[in-house]
Amino acid sequence: MAHEHEHDEHDEHDEHDHDEHDHDEHDHELTDAEAREEAERLVRRDVALAQIRQYGDPALRMRAAEVETFDDELRRVSERMTSLMHDAEGVGLAATQVGILRRFFVCTLDGVDRVLVNPVVTPVSDDAEIDQEGCLSLGPIRLPVERALRVKVEARDETGEPVSLELEGVDARVVQHELDHLDGTLIVDRTDPDARREALRQLRPRLVLA
Ligand code: ZN
């Protein structure tokens, strides 16, 4: 799952117009060191995104199989996926997004990186919320998606230890988004018809180029 970086396009500022934003970018020029750091960040992000399957790739539409062996390979791949997620500036990355058809994903929940294997996600109330979601496999597209506000997650970590989490808000949204990936479901399937039509229109030229 993608999230907005504070250095993203200026038109994002309306959505979260906090005071701290008023002081950056507009009234001071970047120093050479800052400009270099910014350029490096963008290169790192593009290199990471190039390693993540993009819309149109069949792996994104397949249902992943349970993980049966908690071995070094699983830990090595999860570590790699976690750094890829950070470089791509996302808060979640599912195995199917890197072409591995197994049921696990990495994510950052409340600032903590986690690997959730064979996850089962259950809403704990009827409360739901519609909010904008992005996806590392869908470029800059943001779509309104309804998600349960509070969920319980039962899973294993990368060593096979049981994990049980109660999540709400953004964290609950992240695990529901990533779980969808393990079933071949994307946010274009979860949004309203108008938003879907517009998103598919934007995604079509990418298919031609692929
Ligand atoms: Zn996604």
Q: What is the pLDDT of residues 43-89, one digit of tens each?
A: 999 999 999 999 999 999 999 999 999 999 999 999 999 999 999 99
Q: Residue 9: phi, psi to the nearest 5?
A: -45, 145
Q: Tell me how far the alpha carbon of residue 91 lies from the centroid of ligand 1, in angstroms.
A: 9
Q: Tell me how far the alpha carbon of residue 205 lies from the centroid of ligand 1, in angstroms.
A: 20
Q: Tell me how far the alpha carbon of residue 31 lies from the centroid of ligand 1, in angstroms.
A: 34
**Nearest-angstrom CA–CA distance, 104 and 126:** 26
**Could you give the domains of the chain?**
10-209 (3.90.45.10)
> Between the CA atoms of 12, 17, 19 and 21, what dihedral angle is there, to the nearest 10 degrees?
0
**Residues forming the active site:** 178
Q: Tell me how far the alpha carbon of residue 159 lies from the centroid of ligand 1, in angstroms.
A: 24
Contact residues for 97 (Cβ-Cβ < 8 A; gap 6+): 52, 53, 59, 60, 136, 137, 181
What is the predicted pLDDT for the residue at 32?
A: 93
Averaged pLDDT score across all residues of the chain: 89
* pLDDT tens, N- to C-terminus, the chain (210 residues): 887 654 444 444 444 444 444 455 456 788 999 999 999 999 999 999 999 999 999 999 999 999 999 999 999 999 999 999 999 999 999 999 999 999 999 999 999 999 999 999 999 999 999 999 999 999 999 999 999 999 999 999 999 999 999 999 999 999 999 999 999 999 999 999 999 999 999 988 655 555
